A and B are shown apart, each in its own frame.
Chain A
Amino acid sequence: MPDAYIYDAVRTPRGRGRKDGSLYTVRPVELLAAPLAAIPQRTGLDPALIEDVAAGCVTQTGEQGACVARFGLLAAGYPEEVPGVTHNRFCGSGLEAVNHGAAMVASGYMNWMVAGGVESMSRVAMGADGGAWWDTATQWSVGAVPQGISADLIATMNGFSRHDVDSFAAESQRRAAAAQQADAFSRSLVPVLDPAGLPLLEADEYLRPGTTVETLGKLKPAFDVMGTRFGLDALTRRRYPAVERIQHVHTAGNSSGIVDGAAAVLLGSLEAGEAAGLRPRARIRSIGLVGSEPLIMLTGPVEASRRALARAGMVAGDIDLWEINEAFAVVPLYTMAQLGVSHDRVNVHGGAIALGHPLGATGAVLLGTVLDALEDRDLATGLVTLCIGGGMGIATIIERV
């Protein structure tokens, strides 16, 4: 089977996902259009050659409904002959889009695909799309709790303390600030412009440089009230009866930031690249997908990574750099512990705790991030993995060429 190659990866800076965020005035379809438009601009590739655009987007309702990928690519100036598809695999959607693109190219069905994602959390609130997990019938049969409770459950069951998660979060902030200072992001960031062509945002704005364990320690646990006072913790006993009480350790400061952002990755075959005079940066080596227990929800990256590694004939130690999405601090902590991976190799430029997690885009964002970091350090292999709502995990392994 021929390989799928990554020719470019771009993203917008991430704006705060609130009414005072820099990207709040931008419609989601235009936010997606920014990185999509940047791809042909930066590479010189004729967009007519792009055979599909796959974009991840989670809260597909309102402004993010009705196949935002299709209207986004049209807004980006792609020819109308280019179709689009919008994927929802919750937080894994961006990487889902990349994997979809990789499969289409590697199988030989397509020569060029653009994969990415978008989420405007300031304009379309998380959860606005409803869904069965809000129904008591689903709660009684399958089980569903808010993700923060799942995260606190993982922390309780695995002995991760408030100090552990705060330390991880402080380190993520430190690394992100350092990377931003060292200009490690700028070659992949595309600015978002206002109607007059003025830049609305040129660098990620969610970070809080100077965050320490002490400052984080002052924050109140975010899921304590819903868990203990409203009793949502009780719903986890169905599967975890031995856990008498959940320790609520996650706060706004050690959980992923709510932000606006979009990303795009150009995927193509080797021949297609040669024909277009483009040099690939990396190839997709492997992917992994799993379903896992829905109540604890966030442990999927472990098995997804294992599957991707096994498929590639690799072991965890072979991976030079990892991006494990920081949905909650415990997720990379748990994943690293399970896989025996050191924090030195993980999220080296900080992660979603500092930079933000634009749900449908993050997978593609992390792909670009790890690729940049591999190039900076002249390392070879990277693995991107995200935990996913409803209990799933997704992983992709790339290798520089």
Chain B
Amino acid sequence: MTVQDPYLRFEQCEDTGIVTLWLQGAAGVNKIDHAFGAALIERVAELAELEGLTGVVVATAYRDWCVGADLEFLYAARDPAHLLEGVLALTRSYRALETLGVPVVAALTGSALGGGFELALACHHRIALDQGRVKLGLPEVSLGVLPGAGGTQRLPRLIGFQSALELITQGRVLPAPAAAAKGLVDDLQPTPEAVMAAARTWILAHPGHRAPWDREGFEWPAPAPDSPDARNLFMAGSAMLYKKTAGAYPAAEAAFTAAQEGARLAFDRALELEARIFVKLAVSDGAKDMIRTFFFHKNAADRRVGLPTSDAPDFAKVAVLGAGMMGAGLAWICARAGYAVVLRDIAQPALDRGMAHVAKQAGKLARKKGQEHADAILARITPAVEIDALAGADLVIEAVFEDIGLKHRVIREVEPLMAPGGVFASNTSALPITDLARASAHPERFIGLHFFSPVEAMPLLELIEGRDTAPDTVGRCLTFGQRIRKTPIVVGDGFGFYTTRVFSAYILEGAQLVAEGHDPALIEWAARVAGMAVPPLQVFDEITLVLGKHVVAGSKPYLGDQLDIPGAHLVARMVDELGRTGRSGGAGFYDYVDGRRRGLWSGLGGLSPHAPAETGVEYLAFRLLAVQAAEVARALDEGILKRHRDAEIGAVLGLGFSPPSGGPLAWMDRQGLTGLVERLDALASSHGVRYAPAPMLRAMADRGERFFPR
């Protein structure tokens, strides 16, 4: 028999009695919204009554299996009682499927994520299509919630606390082969037909099958809950998590609690506990802000909503100028995306080092995907010292030393060799594109493409429009950016554009706080408590104090004395008088032994004669975030930032601005703009004009507005 339903159709095979439950949600997407949840509840209830039922195969009518909760719905949910009702209904429907009394198999011919993967976990057996495009896992923590439909209860019972919590707290999503290796799926099959056949075979071989935890004598994978080993594991795990997150990620912490406490309970009540913890997180600002940034904003950015497009064909030959780590990395990722690339440096030793970096990346890839695959990519890269090798390039990305004179020379030298209609891009981190474009013969095809290091891993690409950059150029570079798998923001021109401005404000404030006499250990810890991915003094050492000094000096023509603060003087003193230039120099704000960080330099306290009037972790955390937020507001006011999503995505993905906050605009909303403007005014008068609230921010506060509606 067949039951027709817009979302969940089932058909029963007369010979075997096996029902195939087809997931076919609205608009070609299997996501868990109200309608899907209601349909599942109904279908499972019907299955429970169905005569001659011998087993169920849960399959998808689409490419993906089930990609999880409808985030629009989750984003809007603020009433805990109402949300709990919905979550309990869903998790109980999964439980009802699990306890039908017949074997249930998930035929994973497509991706199953979040609540979708939790449906797969509620099935007794998971068979996946053996392809990398099939992604499986529980990413909820990265959106500020946790798996709320059994994931924190079933996964530990399947693969043990340690593996389960690692996956859940990291929000890891794995391709099917890796997922099988971790025990998330039981079997891999080469084709969708083979998956379906294997599902049916398994059902017929396991009549009356029940979930392990519903069977007599069920034993947890070691360690058993509340055993001394389990207690130690949880204590060590929570310590590791705290060490990494400084308490800034309540969702990850909650996952530990849900797993540990749920393990003590009868299974159905454990599901209830998990649902209640889920609701607490889901209605909080933290979750809303993370969902907005990491789902809505990131998706809109990746789909280039509202951005220029181009009909021009994609670039055929890319030239990267400068074989430093950035240039070499760029060459690698372009080649990996299928582009023919020339990597050029005027110095052979530098070129050799760059190609060694490329070789290392190729080696890593070869171990995962085979030597042939890696070799094919390598074959696309041509290293060159002679300039003729660049001939015919239609995209040039210069990553040479940050000096406008040098860059102008390079532009004039290279542009004539380009293919007609090519685009010249600069990877400068701060020099205004319009100024660089003065050396270009075709400023309409001149653009800033600001990448982040290490370019293989950092997902952000900041495109900067010079005064004359044409929309078509932007469109072409967005296509390029998508092909190399970067998330784009498109900003206006100015010294430091967006990300460098905010990043500089952050690290300089770190130095400034040292100059004011605050305990450096507190400064660093405050940054971590605030959710910043890396504390300011540590990252300052990474990029080197020399570069910092250079940026401050370079800012003078554009920003005047704005960066002329005691923190900048302290940096200059450390470089010029104390020889402490940063990590690569063996000493900076931190001490290093054999390149490894050993702790803050004990002499920092002596560099400041002052004792600050007010200090402490909370105060310092506010200073570090507020100085960045003030910069962001200015960037919006000046039109450097043209859309709110760019502010958030750029800050979080580009410079690690507190991911759990959702981004600087979300952070400002949470402070309340009126109170924030007051505090910024006070800080501006006591500590400097860099805190002054931009006119746009003040106007918003006066009108009682927020960046994002609640």
Contact = CB atoms under 8 A, between A and B. Distances in A.
B234 A136 contact: yes
A242 B257 contact: no
A342 interface: no
B226 A130 contact: yes
B530 to A, nearest CB: 12
A230 B237 CA distance: 8
Contacts of A140: 238, 242, 247, 253, 257
Interface string B394-415: 0000000000000000000000
B253 A241 contact: no
B238 A136 contact: yes
Contacts, number: 71
Interface string A304-344: 00000000000000000000000000000000000000000
Contact of B247 (A146, A238, A243, A245): A238
Nearest to B165: A136
B257 A135 contact: yes
A231 B236 contact: yes
B246 A232 contact: no
Contacts of B261: 135, 137
B519 A139 contact: no
A243 B600 CA distance: 11
B247 A231 contact: no
B45 interface: no
B610 to A, nearest CB: 17
A241 B525 contact: yes
A63 B242 CA distance: 36
B240 interface: yes
A237 B235 contact: no
B647 interface: no
Nearest to B253: A140
B369 interface: no
A234 interface: yes
A232 B231 CA distance: 13
Contact of B242 (A127, A235, A245): A235
Contacts of B234: 134-136
A230 B239 CA distance: 7
A244 interface: yes
B521 A235 contact: no
Contacts of A237: 242, 246, 525
Given A137-B261, A234-B243, A242 B236 contact: no
Nearest to B599: A244
Interface in A146-182: 146
B521 A139 contact: no
A230 B240 contact: yes
Interface string B221-254: 0000010100100111111101100110000010
Interface residues of A, number: 23
B226 A231 contact: no
Contacts of A233: 239
Nearest to A235: B239
Contacts of B247: 140, 238
A232 B617 contact: no
Contacts of A139: 235, 238
Interface string B256-277: 1100110000000000000000
Max chain B C-beta neighbours (<10 A), residue from A130, A226, A234, A243 = A234
B178 interface: no
B265 to A, nearest CB: 13
Interface in A98-142: 127, 130, 134-137, 139-140
Contacts of A238: 242, 247
B240 A231 contact: yes
Contact of A232 (B235, B525, B529, B599): B235
B228 A241 contact: no
Nearest to B256: A136
B526 interface: yes
Q: At the interface, is chain B mostly helix, strand, loop or mixed?
A: helix
A243 B521 CA distance: 7
A134 B231 contact: yes
Interface in B310-365: none
Nearest to B620: A241
Contact of B235 (A130, A134, A137, A241): A134
Interface string B609-626: 000000001000000000
B522 interface: yes
B144 to A, nearest CB: 16
B135 to A, nearest CB: 29
A241 B257 contact: no
Nearest to A226: B236
B391 to A, nearest CB: 55
Max chain B C-beta neighbours (<10 A), residue from A134, A146, A242 = A134
A134 B617 CA distance: 27
Nearest to B529: A241
Contact of B600 (A134, A232, A235, A244): A244
Interface string A238-255: 100111110000000000
Contacts of A241: 521-522, 525-526, 529, 617
Contact of A242 (B240, B246, B260, B522): B522
Nearest to B231: A134
Given A136-B256, A244-B599, A231 B522 contact: no
A73 B253 CA distance: 46
A137 B242 CA distance: 12
Contacts of A242: 519, 521-522, 525
Max chain B C-beta neighbours (<10 A), residue from A230, A238, A241, A244 = A241
Interface in B359-404: none
A234 B238 CA distance: 10
Interface in B473-529: 519, 521-522, 525-526, 529
Contacts of B256: 136
Nearest to B525: A241
B612 to A, nearest CB: 14
Max chain A C-beta neighbours (<10 A), residue from B237, B239, B240 = B239
B531 to A, nearest CB: 15
A56 to B, nearest CB: 24
Contact of A231 (B228, B239, B260, B525): B239
A294 to B, nearest CB: 14
A286 to B, nearest CB: 37
A234 B240 CA distance: 8
Nearest to A233: B239
A242 B519 CA distance: 7
B291 to A, nearest CB: 22
Contacts of A232: 235-236, 239
B605 to A, nearest CB: 11
Contacts of A245: 599
Contacts of A243: 521
A279 to B, nearest CB: 49
Nearest to A244: B521
Contacts of A234: 239-240, 242-243
Contacts of B228: 127
Given A242-B521, A245-B599, A231 B257 contact: no
A230 B599 contact: no
Interface string B139-179: 00000000000000000000000000000000000000000
Given A127-B231, A139-B238, A231-B243, 17 more contacts: A130-B231, A134-B235, A135-B234, A135-B260, A136-B234, A136-B238, A136-B260, A139-B235, A140-B238, A140-B253, A140-B257, A230-B236, A231-B240, A232-B236, A234-B240, A234-B242, A244-B521
28 contacts: A134-B231, A134-B235, A135-B234, A136-B234, A136-B235, A136-B238, A136-B260, A137-B260, A137-B261, A140-B253, A140-B257, A146-B235, A226-B236, A230-B235, A231-B236, A231-B242, A232-B235, A232-B236, A232-B239, A233-B239, A235-B239, A235-B242, A237-B242, A237-B525, A241-B521, A242-B522, A244-B521, A245-B599
* Pairs of residues from A and B, 9 with the lowest C-beta to C-beta distance, nearest first: A234-B243, A241-B525, A230-B236, A231-B239, A136-B256, A136-B238, A134-B231, A232-B239, A137-B257
Interface of A: 127, 130, 134-137, 139-140, 146, 226, 230-235, 237-238, 241-245
